[in-house]
C-alpha cells in the first residue's frame, strides 16, 4: 500500500491533521489503539480567556477561527451536532475579583470576550453572593460524538488500524517511510502520552497529567451556562452535567479513583446545594507541556518524520490551529512559529 501520510494517533491532534490532509486531497492511514483516552474524557470546552488570571489565551482569535470552521465542516459531513454555543460564567469569590474583572474587560485583547457587567446570581441552588463574570465566544465541542463518528468513517474506508504502532517495523530512509507493507511519504506522530514510548520523540519534555471527570444528574439545578469556580460545571442534555477536572502527575493510568471523585465532590458541594447523583466517572492522561505550548516539529535526523502533540487542556481550540501550521510546514515549507516548534528544546 502506498499513501502520502501515516498518522499515529486519532485524538483531537490526529483528527485535526487528517482534516488538513482531506482538504488538500492527500491519502493517509491512521493507527490508533485508544490507549490514552485524553481526548475522549475532555470536557470539550473552548474559551478564549484564562479565567484564573483574566488574560487572553495565546492566539485565541486565530485558534477559534480555524477550529470552529473545522467543526462546522465535520457537522455537515457526518450530519451530527458537535458545537454547542454556551456562555461561561466565572464565579467571583470577592469584590476584589470583581474589580480585577472590570479592569481586564477594558483591555483591548479582552474587551470583546469579557462582559463588563456583573451577572447577579438568581439561582437558589448556587452559592455566589458576588455574582459572575460572563465570557463570550465560548462553547463546548462534543468530543466523544466527534471521535466515534470519525473513527467509524475511517474504519468504513479501511484506513484506520485499531492496533498499537510497532516501532520495530518502521524503516526510515531519505525518500520514503516503510512500515510493514505500507510505504508513505511522511509520518506524523500524534500519539499523546504515548510519546513516552516513542523512541524518536520521547526526549521531548511532555508532562503527562491524569485528569478525571464526573457526570452528575442534577434535575433541580437548571443552568444554561458553564459555571467556572473551583471546578467547571458544564451542562449537557437531560439535566446532566460534567464536573471537572482533577490533575494528577504520579498515577498515570486510565483507572478512575475514589480520591479524585471525593476531591471533585468536595469542591462541587461548596458551589451548589441541590441534590444530585453521580452517574459516571472517567479518566484519561493529558499530554501537557511545561511552557503551555504544543510540541510541533520535524525529527532532527529523519526529515520525513514529524510530531504533533502536547495540546494540553485546550485541545479542541488549539489542535486545528497547530495541525494547519504543521501541514503548511511540511507541504509548503512555511516556518513553524517558534512558540510551538520543538526546536525550542534542542540544545546547542
- Which has the closest alpha carbon to 91: 56, 43, 52, 60? 52
Confidence of residue 43 (pLDDT cuts 50, 70, 90): confident
Asked, for residue 255, whether it belongs to a domain, the answer is yes
72 falls within a domain: no
Q: CA torsion 44→142→310→300, rounded to 10°? A: -160
pLDDT digits (tens, 9 = 90+) for 112-154: 999 999 999 999 999 999 999 999 999 999 999 999 999 999 9
Do 121 and 94 lie in a common domain? yes
Q: Do residues 273 and 125 make contact, with C-beta atoms less than 8 angstroms apart?
A: yes
Quick one: 296 and 201 in the same domain? yes
Task: Provide the domain limits for residue 338.
Answer: 2-42+144-205+291-345
Three-class SS of residue 104? helix
Q: How many domains does the chain have?
A: 3
Tally DSSP H helices, then E strands, for the chain: 6, 20
**In-domain check, residue 50:** no
224 and 282: one domain? Answer: yes
pTM of the model: 0.94
Predicted confidence band at 40 (pLDDT cuts at 50, 70, 90)?
A: low
Whether residue 308 is found in the same domain as residue 275 = no
Domain boundary among 104, 135, 166: 135
Answer yes or no: do 201 and 320 share one domain: yes
| In a shared domain, residues 106 and 219 | no
Q: Is 303 within the bounds of a domain? A: yes
Any domain includes 20: yes
Shared domain check, 215 and 95: no
Q: What's the CA gap between 332 and 20, in Å, rounded? A: 13
Local structure of residue 57 (DSSP, 8 states): P
Q: Are residues 123 and 152 in the same domain?
A: no
Say if residue 150 is in the same domain as residue 201: yes
- Closest by CA to 164, choosing from 325, 346, 295, 9, is 9
- 138: helix, coil or strand? coil
Under DSSP, the state recorded for 300 is: S
Residue 313's pLDDT band (cuts 50, 70, 90)? confident
Confidence of residue 298 (pLDDT cuts 50, 70, 90): very high
Distance CA 5, CA 86 (A): 36
DSSP 3-state of 162: coil
The strand ranges marked E within 167-317 are 170-172, 177-179, 182-189, 206-217, 226-228, 232-235, 240-244, 277-289, 295-298, 305-309
CA distance 144 to 179: 29
Among candidate residues 50, 49, 84, 90, the one with its CA nearest the CA of residue 68? 84
Q: What is the pLDDT of residues 189-223, one digit of tens each?
A: 999 988 999 999 999 999 888 999 999 999 999 99
Clarify whether residues 216 and 274 are in a common domain: yes
Residue 245 sits in a domain whose CATH number is 3.30.9.10
**Same domain? 194 vs 295:** yes
Average pLDDT, whole number, for the chain?
A: 94
DSSP H helices, the chain, are 12-23, 60-78, 95-105, 143-156, 258-269, 315-332
In a domain, 13, yes or no: yes
What backbone phi and psi angles, to 5 degrees, belong to 46? -115, 135
* Cross-strand pairs, 8: 31, 189
CA distances from 239 to 219, 220, 224, 347 (A): 5, 8, 10, 52
Grid cell 499515529 is found at 8
* Domain match, 94 and 242 both: no
Amino acid at each position: 500500500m502506498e499513501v502520502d501520510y501515516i498518522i499515529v494517533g486519532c485524538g483531537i491532534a490526529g483528527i485535526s491533521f487528517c482534516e488538513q490532509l482531506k482538504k488538500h486531497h492527500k491519502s493517509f492511514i491512521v493507527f490508533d489503539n485508544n490507549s490514552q483516552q485524553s481526548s475522549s474524557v475532555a470536557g470539550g470546552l473552548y474559551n478564549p480567556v484564562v479565567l484564573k488570571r483574566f488574560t487572553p489565551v495565546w492566539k485565541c482569535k486565530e485558534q477559534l477561527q480555524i477550529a470552529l470552521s473545522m467543526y462546522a465542516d465535520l457537522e455537515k459531513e457526518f450530519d451530527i451536532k458537535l458545537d454547542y454555543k454556551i456562555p461561561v460564567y466565572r464565579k467571583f469569590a470577592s469584590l476584589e475579583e470583581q474589580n480585577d474583572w472590570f479592569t481586564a474587560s477594558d483591555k483591548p485583547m479582552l474587551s470583546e470576550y469579557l462582559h463588563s457587567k456583573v451577572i447577579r446570581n438568581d439561582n437558589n441552588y448556587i452559592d455566589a453572593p458576588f455574582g459572575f463574570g460572563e465570557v463570550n465566544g465560548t462553547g463546548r465541542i462534543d468530543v466523544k460524538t466527534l471521535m466515534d463518528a470519525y473513527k467509524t468513517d475511517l474504519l468504513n474506508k479501511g484506513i484506520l488500524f485499531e492496533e498499537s504502532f510497532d516501532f520495530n517495523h518502521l524503516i526510515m530512509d531519505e525518500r520514503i517511510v516503510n512500515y510493514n507493507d505500507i510505504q508513505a511519504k511522511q509520518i506524523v506522530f500524534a500519539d499523546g502520552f504515548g510519546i513516552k514510548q516513542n523512541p524518536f520523540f520521547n526526549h521531548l519534555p511532555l508532562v503527562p497529567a491524569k485528569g478525571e471527570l464526573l457526570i452528575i444528574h442534577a434535575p433541580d439545578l437548571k443552568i444554561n451556562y458553564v459555571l467556572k469556580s473551583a471546578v467547571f460545571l458544564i451542562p449537557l442534555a437531560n439535566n446532566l452535567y460534567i464536573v471537572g477536572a482533577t490533575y494528577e502527575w504520579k498515577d498515570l493510568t486510565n483507572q478512575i479513583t475514589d480520591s479524585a471523585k471525593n476531591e471533585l465532590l468536595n469542591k462541587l458541594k461548596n458551589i451548589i446545594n441541590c441534590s444530585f447523583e453521580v452517574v459516571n466517572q472517567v479518566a484519561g492522561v493529558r499530554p501537557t507541556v511545561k511552557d503551555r505550548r504544543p510540541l510541533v516539529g520535524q525529527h532532527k535526523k529523519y526529515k520525513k518524520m514529524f510530531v504533533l502533540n502536547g495540546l494540553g487542556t485546550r485541545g479542541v481550540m488549539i489542535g486545528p490551529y497547530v495541525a494547519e501550521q504543521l501541514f503548511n510546514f511540511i507541504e509548503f515549507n512555511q516556518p513553524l512559529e517558534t512558540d510551538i516548534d520543538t526546536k525550542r528544546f534542542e540544545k546547542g
